[in-house]
Amino acid sequence: MLHQKEKLILQSLLENKNHYMTSKELASQLSCSDRTIRTYLKSLMDWNPHETGWKIIAKQGYGYKLELQDKALCQDFIQAELLTEVNAAKTENIEDRYNYILNKLLFEQEKLYFDNLAEELFVSRSTLSADFKKIRKDLAKYDLQIESKANRGVYVKGSERNKRRFIMDYFFRDNFFQSLHNYITIEVPGRQISLEELTIIVLDECRESYLKLSDFVIQNLVIHIALSFKRIAEGFQINQIENWNQENYLAERKIAEKILHRVYLATGLEFPKEEVDYITLHLISKASCQDNQYAKKDINQEIRRQLLEALEQVEHVKDYQFQHDFQLVEGVVTHLVTLLVRLQNHVVLENPLLKDIQQQYSSVLAMTRELLQAMPIFSKENLSDDEISYIALHFMAALERLKEKQKFNILVICATGYGSAQMLKNRIENELGNLVHIVDVIGYYELSDERLKNIDFIISSIDLSNLVFSVPVFTVSIFLNSEELKEIKHKMAQLKPVESSLIPETAVMVDQNEEKIFDDYFSSACFVLTQDATKEVILQELLSQMGQGEEQDFVSCMQDLMEQREKMSSVIFSEQIAVPHPIKPIAKHHKIGVAIVKNGLQWNEENPHIRLIFLPSPAIYGNEGMATLASKIVDLLEQPDLQKQILDCQSFAEFKQLFLKIK
């Protein structure tokens, strides 16, 4: 099986098979060193042409060239090893073109001609035809068609309702919301409103009034309104915009009023007049920019040019290749156009997320400041941290996307117990979450070739040494100790460079309501505090209490299922902590029982001094929050001081207070 870099090299050589390519050219294409390329080329040249149908020729002074020796065999090899994954890796530029074309078709509502579009995108007619073939297919699902007329150019035919459905699903549902949900939560007393619902309101009102705004302007407006909820809730004062003639922008102001009126109907939250002004500012930013010193130039293009130049030249930033992130560039350009208007009108905007960003993303904030200072338009402006942190949000989301793209795809193999699988999964996410993406968590008997497709390596709590795989296998204990982590990280470093220091350890800035989750699972009724007891007595007492409201045979069934689970692998998580649980859920209501045995009890011959017992009983349906609590139990293993405090506690209330301190 080829390494991902080998696949990309092979793809480049196939596309340029009529001439030689140097290792430097390949290195530039793949954004890696010349030496790395030569290492992978050496590996590729070791492949047997009788198995692949191709051979790589190296010629001093010329470079490398792919020679086809058996076209049919080569085609089979490519289909089996190469095309599906490499094409997926190459879709970034294709997706950028889709975004550009669909923006033109659905947002700008201007005449669009095929030849002009091919020229704008620097692609051939055949490439553009292939793009439109996919776009037609995507639009057809929404009962929309691409039409073409001599006097009108290319346009989308169909109902406005279906166009809006497509816009929401294509432009906003995935990357936009996934990135934002990590940093922004909308908290409103009364009825809640989601980012999705907010976007629908903005989209509806803008299109009803035939206002031509790109998806990026809409995204920035949604971010602004979402943060305005937080600004209002926290009592931030909003400056009034002075010295601008609102009479010239009555249509835009009317749209702003309609947007906020619909938000009021949805949430009951009233916005001050100043917020209407700010939203109007977003809607008119393009027009307003014509009055400034750059009036002779297209301000969007000038800001885009300066931003791209800064992204390519500023130290510590250029390695990220942000200039190729279409979503980032367009989002930042749109924001900066509005910022320029605010600066002209001496408008200051406070960011309620500033404190969080300063504490957890200070390096991203510093990077954003450095980029703005490198842009002549903004270099002489005294920008506040509030303004810079708004722009930093775009880079935080871009780093999140970058982090997802660079992650290893891994398969986790566990014994079939729900608890142990969840424990190991949480442990991996906590320790390696910024480096790996867990594709699936499966049992030993679920292993198959299909499961192993596109997997970079396996982490297993079961010994798989009797099997041979084409990917590395790391055998670990259920609680993934420090030595095992060290070994995995060491091997991973050999496969791919370590993640950037700009990406913080914690991606989510807003805490979940952990106390609510705790109260949903734990209770004083299922809490046992004693000096001495046997394993049998403790489990019987916990199960009897946890069986309230369950079937009559709950206790006996649980005992049987817990025994089956323990036969699969140990439920002892440390010298003092045991986490017994059923091999499958049977409860109507999820619960976690807790027992603290001050003097310890004998679990078995190997574990004579267990003092803290967690007994999870997941429900057959609906276990939201279980993963959070399981993660905390695993984290407790590495916090001996907190363990001691819990073992010394004298009441359920004290236990709750200490448990919620686990980080």
Tell me which of 351-355, 416-420, 520-524 is least confident.
416-420
Give, as one character, the DSSP assignment of residue 105: I
Single-letter residue type at 9: I
Spatial contact of 642 and 658, defined as CB atoms under 8 Å apart: yes
240 vs 140: which has the higher pLDDT: 140
What is the model's pLDDT at position 190?
56
Q: How far apart are CA 197 and CA 203, in angstroms?
A: 10
Burial of 137 (0-12, 13-18, 19+ CB in 10 A): exposed
- Helix-then-strand count for the chain, H and E: 28, 12
Tell me which of 105-109, 337-341, 474-478, 565-569 is least confident.
565-569
DSSP-derived pairing of the beta strands 408-414 and 145-149: unpaired
Q: How far apart are CA 457 and CA 464, in angstroms?
A: 13
pLDDT at 220 over 50: yes
- Listed in order, strand segments (DSSP E) in 150-294 are 153-157
CA distances from 415 to 12, 92, 426 (A): 43, 38, 15
Q: How far apart are CA 326 and CA 45, in angstroms?
A: 36
Identify the H or E element spanning 408. strand 408-414
Spatial contact of 478 and 573, defined as CB atoms under 8 Å apart: yes
Tell me yes or no: is domain 290-400 CATH 1.10.1790.10.
yes
- Could you tell me how far CA 429 lies from the centroid of its own chain? 13
Tell me yes or no: is domain 407-495 CATH 3.30.465.10.
no
Q: What is the pLDDT of residues 350-389, one digit of tens each?
A: 787 888 888 888 888 999 999 999 999 999 888 999 889 9
CATH topology of domain 4-81: Arc Repressor Mutant, subunit A (1.10.10)
Give, as one character, the DSSP assignment of residue 445: G
SS3 437: strand
Q: How far apart are CA 338 and CA 284, in angstroms?
A: 9
Q: How far apart are CA 271 and CA 269, in angstroms?
A: 7
CATH topology of domain 514-659: Mannitol-specific EII; Chain A (3.40.930)
What is the model's pLDDT at position 510?
30
What is the model's pLDDT at position 240?
66
Q: What is the pLDDT of residues 291-340, one digit of tens each?
A: 444 443 468 778 988 999 999 888 778 878 888 888 888 889 888 988 88
Q: How far apart are CA 219 and CA 203, in angstroms?
A: 10
pLDDT at 496 over 70: no
DSSP-derived pairing of the beta strands 577-578 and 591-601: unpaired
Q: What is the pLDDT of residues 128-139, one digit of tens each?
A: 888 898 899 889
pLDDT at 89 over 50: no
Give, as one character, the DSSP assignment of residue 167: H
Tokens linked to 650: 């004298």
Which of 220, 507, 502, 223 has the alpha carbon at shortest distance from 367? 502
Tokens linked to 9: 């090299």
Average pLDDT, the chain: 80
**What average pLDDT does range 13-36 have in this prediction?**
79
pLDDT at 85 over 50: no
520 vs 174: which has the higher pLDDT: 520
Burial of 532 (0-12, 13-18, 19+ CB in 10 A): exposed
Spatial contact of 81 and 1, defined as CB atoms under 8 Å apart: yes
Q: How far apart are CA 410 and CA 52, in angstroms?
A: 27
Contacts of 653 (CB under 8 A, 6+ apart): none
627 vs 423: which has the higher pLDDT: 423
Contacts of 290 (CB under 8 A, 6+ apart): 299
What are the boundaries of each domain within the chain?
4-81, 94-234+250-278, 290-400, 407-495, 514-659
Q: How far apart are CA 52 and CA 48, in angstroms?
A: 6
Contacts of 346 (CB under 8 A, 6+ apart): 242, 243
For the entire predicted model, the pTM comes to 0.42
Q: How far apart are CA 609 and CA 593, in angstroms?
A: 19
Burial of 513 (0-12, 13-18, 19+ CB in 10 A): exposed
Residues comprising the chain, all counted: 663
